[in-house]
């Protein structure tokens, strides 16, 4: 396999690492900056969810710049935003300043969530596209785990420990920005802009052994500049159906409750009776589980396909979410919350965690891919923000831990419903070129 293909995908996947790190590092820092800024539950919810409003803007707003200036150039911009956010959040002197820099980080996360998997899907050969695009999710999971481990390592560094937790993100942001100068531009973007010779060079670098002239012609034939340039076509046949499916995928992905688990897991473990350090340690275990089953998913995604993994995961997650809900509704203590949270995360990592970002980057035709992925990601972040803001408020409305139980019962119901949605509306994408997929998706 071409070495350049590994280079291009790994560098782009660093956007996923920063995505995961930025969204998860706040987990362990929460009790410390909450005390520092003396936040009530409403302000805590705003501080925790503020970055996600940046994600929403970044996701929906990155599509057109990504089309105009290219995926690689805009990834450089996101790297700089990650750096600014890391330093600014860590040095914040008041909650307003803290929230502003978290929103800037959110802009970067939203942009990376669209551009990184899309770039990888546009450079990877069909046979390996699933496992290469899943590198984005793997990097995201590694970023989450790295954030949890960093929080744990810095917990005893004094009253400013939360500042160092946030500023630790600066190093990978600088690395990401630097390495982007060593990768080529997306061949499909180059074809759309008329840079056919450069596109052929990139295709030859990453698709050795293929009929690259034929591939170049297929990409050329798939481009309709009128559709590509005008937003109105997204809301007309045959593209409207894909846009609606993308919006619903984003919704169902968040209604598994994974955001609550990854952001509030240390608080949930504290509610179950564990101390702060023990709760953060168990959060690291959750992160390791997420990583392990994402790696397992990489071995299967191009074999058994995206759709089967989604269906299998929906069944498993429904069962474990239901049990987790029961544990908190009836106040069952001990290590039961950890066991069933790990079981849920394993199912999520193998299914939706591995598949959703791959599916977003594959399901939209060349003419609307950037904007289509942006809309799917936009839906993901809208529901993410809503849940992160509401969770502490809902918890406060109950005098005991039953609020956590009711929330996870809600997630169990929607995850059960998602099984039937995926079964009816998801088209299998494994093993086909992006141009071949257009015919299946637009039927």
SS3 label, residue 421? helix
Q: Is the pLDDT of residue 338 over 90?
A: no
Provide φ and ψ at 156, rounded to 5°.
-105, 30
Q: Is residue 116 within 8 Å of 16, Cβ to Cβ?
A: yes
Smallest CA-to-CA distance from 112 within 24, 50, 245, 20 is with 20
- Asked if 240 and 234 touch (Cβ cutoff 8 Å), the reply is yes
Per the CB < 8 A criterion, the answer to whether 95 and 43 are in contact is yes
Alpha-carbon distances of 177 from 73, 182, 218, 419, rounded to whole Å = 10, 10, 32, 39
pLDDT above 80: residue 91? yes
Beta strands (DSSP E) in 288-396 are none
**Structural domain includes residue 353:** yes
| pLDDT of 108 | 96
Residue 133 lies in a domain: yes
* Residue with more model confidence, 166 or 366: 166
Let me know the angle formed at the C-alpha of 315 by 139 and 291, rounded to the nearest 5 degrees: 20
Residue 366 has pLDDT above 80, yes or no: no
pLDDT score for 439: 64
In a domain, 206, yes or no: no
CA–CA–CA angle 424, 348, 43 (5° rounding): 110
309 pLDDT higher than 80: yes
Is the separation of the CB atoms in 434 and 122 below 8 Å? yes
Place of tokens 């598949």: 355
Under the banding of pLDDT at 50, 70 and 90, the label for residue 317 is: very high
Degrees to nearest 5, angle at CA 347 with 343 and 349 = 115
Q: Give the residue among 17, 264, 271, 4 at the shortest CA–CA distance from 135.
A: 17
Residue 279 has a pLDDT of 75
pLDDT at 175: 97
Residue pair 114/368 in contact by the 8 Å Cβ criterion:
no
As a whole number of angstroms, the distance between CA 7 and CA 1 comes to 11
Q: How far apart are CA 388 and CA 257, in angstroms?
A: 10
Task: Report residue 341 CA to chain centroid gap.
Answer: 19
Cβ partners under 8 Å of residue 286, min gap 6? 148, 261, 262, 265, 338, 341, 342, 345
Across 140-157, average pLDDT: 88
Please, which residues have CB within 8 angstroms of residue 270's CB and are 6 or more apart in sequence?
276, 279
pTM: 0.80
Mean pLDDT of 193-208: 85
Domain CATH code at residue 371 = 1.20.1250.20
With a cut of 60, say whether residue 226 has pLDDT above it: no
Report if residue 192 sits inside a domain.
no
Lowest mean pLDDT of 109-113, 162-166, 260-264, name the range.
Answer: 260-264
Which residues fall within 8 angstroms of residue 178, CB to CB, at 6 or more apart?
none
Q: Which of 212-221, 223-232, 270-279, 404-413 has the lowest mean pLDDT?
A: 223-232
pLDDT tier at 210 (50, 70, 90 boundaries)?
low
Query: Angle at Cα 291 formed by Cα 164 and Cα 355, nearest 5°?
Result: 120
For residue 3, is pLDDT > 80?
no
In a domain, 197, yes or no: no
pLDDT at 128 (0 to 100): 78
Minimum mean pLDDT range among 154-163, 170-179, 335-344, 362-371: 362-371
Task: Identify the residue with better confidence: 247 or 371.
Answer: 247
The answer on pLDDT for 205 being more than 80 is yes
Helix (H) or strand (E) holding 423: helix 402-425
Within a domain: residue 217?
no
Read off the pLDDT of each residue in 77-100 and give the average, rounded to a whole number. 95
> For residue range 26-45, what is the model confidence (pLDDT) as tens digits?
878 888 999 899 888 778 87
327 located within any domain: yes
Mean pLDDT of 315-335: 87
194 within domain boundaries? no
Lowest mean pLDDT among 53-62, 128-137, 173-182, 216-225: 216-225
pLDDT at 443: 64
CB 310 within 8 A of CB 352: yes
Q: Where are the alpha helices (DSSP H) in 331-401?
A: 336-350, 352-363, 369-396
Place 109 in a pLDDT band, splitting at 50, 70 and 90: very high
pLDDT category of residue 438 using cuts at 50, 70 and 90: low
Paired tokens of 92:
């914040």
As a whole number of angstroms, the distance between CA 73 and CA 20 comes to 21
Q: What total number of domains does the chain contain? A: 1
How far apart, in Å, do the first and last CA atoms of the chain sit? 33
pLDDT, mean over the chain: 86
Which pLDDT score, from 0 to 100, does residue 336 have?
81
Whether 203 shows a pLDDT value over 90: the answer reads no
pLDDT band at 230 (very low <50, low <70, confident <90, very high): low
Specify whether the CB–CB gap between 312 and 353 falls below 8 A: no
Q: Give the lowest-confidence range in 143-147, 209-213, 364-368.
A: 209-213
* Residue 373 belongs to domain spanning: 3-184+224-441
Task: Report the run of H or E that residue 204 belongs to, with start and end.
Answer: helix 196-206
What is the C-alpha separation between 28 and 149, in angstroms, rounded?
Answer: 9
């Amino acid at each position: 396999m071409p070495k350049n293909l590994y280079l291009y995908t790994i560098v782009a996947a660093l956007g996923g690492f920063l995505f995961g790190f930025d969204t998860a590092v706040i987990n362990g820092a929460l009790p410390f900056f909450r005390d520092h800024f003396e936040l009530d539950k409403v302000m805590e919810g705003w501080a925790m969810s503020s970055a996600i409003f940046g994600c929403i803007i970044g996701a929906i707003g990155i599509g057109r710049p990504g089309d105009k200036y290219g995926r690689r150039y805009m990834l450089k911009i996101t790297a700089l935003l990650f750096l600014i956010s890391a330093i600014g959040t860590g040095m914040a002197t008041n909650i307003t300043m803290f929230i502003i820099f978290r929103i800037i980080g959110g802009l970067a996360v939203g942009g990376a969530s669209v551009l990184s998997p899309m770039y990888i899907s546009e450079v990877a050969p069909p046979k390996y596209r699933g496992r290469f695009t899943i590198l984005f999710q793997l990097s995201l999971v590694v970023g989450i785990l790295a954030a949890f481990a960093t929080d744990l390592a810095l917990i005893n560094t004094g009253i400013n420990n939360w500042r160092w937790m946030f500023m630790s993100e600066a190093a990978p942001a600088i690395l990401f920005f630097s390495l982007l100068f060593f990768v080529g531009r997306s061949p499909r973007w180059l074809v759309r802009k008329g840079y056919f010779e450069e596109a052929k060079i990139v295709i030859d670098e990453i698709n050795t052994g293929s009929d690259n002239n034929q591939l170049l012609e297929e990409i050329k034939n798939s481009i309709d500049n009128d559709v590509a340039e005008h937003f109105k076509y997204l809301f007309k046949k045959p593209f409207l159906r894909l846009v609606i499916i993308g919006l619903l995928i984003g919704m169902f992905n968040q209604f598994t409750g994974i955001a609550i688990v990854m952001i509030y897991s240390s608080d949930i473990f504290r509610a179950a009776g564990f101390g702060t350090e023990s709760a953060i340690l168990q959060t690291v275990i959750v992160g390791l589980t997420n990583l392990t089953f994402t790696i397992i998913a990489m071995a299967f995604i191009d074999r058994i396909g995206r759709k089967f993994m989604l269906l299998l995961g929906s069944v498993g997650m429904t069962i474990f979410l239901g049990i987790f809900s029961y544990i908190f509704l009836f106040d069952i203590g001990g290590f039961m919350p950890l066991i069933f949270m790990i079981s849920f995360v394993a199912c999520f990592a193998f299914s939706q965690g591995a598949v959703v970002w791959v599916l977003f980057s594959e399901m939209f035709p060349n003419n609307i891919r950037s904007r289509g992925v942006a809309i799917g990601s936009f839906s993901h972040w809208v529901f993410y923000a809503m849940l992160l803001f509401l969770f502490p408020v809902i918890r406060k409305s109950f005098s005991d831990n039953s609020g956590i139980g009711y929330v996870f019962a809600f997630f169990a119901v929607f995850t059960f419903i998602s099984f039937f949605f995926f079964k009816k509306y998801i088209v299998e994408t494994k093993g086909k070129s992006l141009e071949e997929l257009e015919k299946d998706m637009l039927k």
